[in-house]
Structure 1
Amino acid sequence: MAKSGKSGGKGSVSGGTRALKVRVKTARNRSNSSARWLQRQLNDPYVHAAKREGYRSRAAFKLLEIDDRFHLLKPGARVVDLGCAPGGWCQIAAKRVKSDVSSPRAGRVIGLDYLETEPVPGATILQLDFLDEGADDTVKDLLAGEADLVLSDMAAPTTGHKQTDHLRIMHLCEVAAHFAIEVLAPGGAF
């Protein structure tokens, strides 16, 4: 997806409008790293595009690109989104699998996160840690079977210590893969 300010074609994030660069000064209660993060957010074209298109996060564009390339979100598919907050991936998945919680033949999307997440139309959101005992059985019950696709865009809480953060990230990847093995149907994708 192009990050340029050019208008027009497929993949253009800015849609022809280019905002002026916003500079953020450090305030009394804001650290330099917080000011840099805020400045990146305010100047990120994907953040602006997500807001304009009604997506909950800029990450929605990542899933759109992945699905456009690999065609994982098929109509009628049963999808689990691990670490779903704030719900951007659930929004995309529900739309692409034509999820309808009231129809047994429609696609299904289950979002799991230990953080509270606002409801997403077409998805069932559970405030649940996927590492909890029985979480895999809960998901299978809600899906009325096994999942066709398990998504994960989770990030482990960081400490700022590179080695510790790396271990946390790798642990999260490993436990997510183990969860996917437990809930995926044969031939499913993670």
Structure 2
Amino acid sequence: MDIAGNAALVVVDVQRGFEDLGFWGSRNNPGADGNIASLIDVWQASGRPVVFVRHDSRLPGSPLRPGQEGNGFKEYVEARRGKGGAGAELLVTKGVNSAFYGSPDLDAWLKGAGISQLVLAGIQTNMCVETTARMGGNLGYDVVVAFDATYTFDLEGPFGWRRGAEEVARASAVSLHGGGFARVVTTEEVVDAAG
């Protein structure tokens, strides 16, 4: 796998509000935060651009609402912001699932910088990470999802169907990879290729 010298790492919604398991329920992949941190470190050390995406929820009661403590980035992400040296950094805020429908315009920023490859990590695998990956693929970007640098929560759907977080995450990975929207890989593969 090749990781371009100017590939953008898009860190999706790694916010404190996702620590509220009373609100979200059970999650998968307890190692995700460590993998996200290692990707940010590699990107910043190599001078590659990092995009930090924050979800400003419009839903009453959501821990991700602006003005709530949960809206802020997790501490390990906040501690790394602005530490990229020569690497470009962008903050995108959004109120929907796709980072491409945020402010400022992510697509315009990427195209203006000549960036054609994205590596995605963050929360939730099957929601904002997947939606951003699908849209990125539709827009013609070479999208890579570091699967073990994402996580999600148990989910209930129609007809009372309920699926555990790991099953939901795997279904998302199969749809993205099998559908040709993105290459779904491990953090280790990305780090090895980016080194």
User: Higher relative contact order at CA 8 Å, sep ≥6: structure 1 or structure 2?
Assistant: 2
Which TM-score applies when normalising by structure 2?
0.37
Greater radius of gyration (CA): 1
Greater fraction of residues in strand: 2
